[in-house]
Amino acid sequence: MRLYRQGRLPLGKLVSRYRLEDINTAVTDIRAGRTIKAVLTFRGGPDGPA
């Protein structure tokens, strides 16, 4: 938490959200190094249930 609060751990840049139907894009982005952690959402938009 200390690193995050100090701005030295940019979690927003490490985690990306994808809809379940975009799972192939998520895998491609991980393999290409565009994201570290892909979070899949099952309903609604990229931020979760609608």
Boundaries of every domain in the chain: 10-50
pLDDT tens digits for 8-46?
988 888 899 999 999 999 999 999 999 999 999 997 655
Residues 38, 26: contact at Cβ < 8 Å?
A: yes
CA distance linking residue 7 with residue 19, whole number of Å: 28
What pTM, to 2 d.p., does this model score?
Answer: 0.66
What pLDDT sits at residue 12? Answer: 82
What pLDDT sits at residue 50? Answer: 45
What pLDDT sits at residue 20? Answer: 95
What pLDDT sits at residue 4? Answer: 87
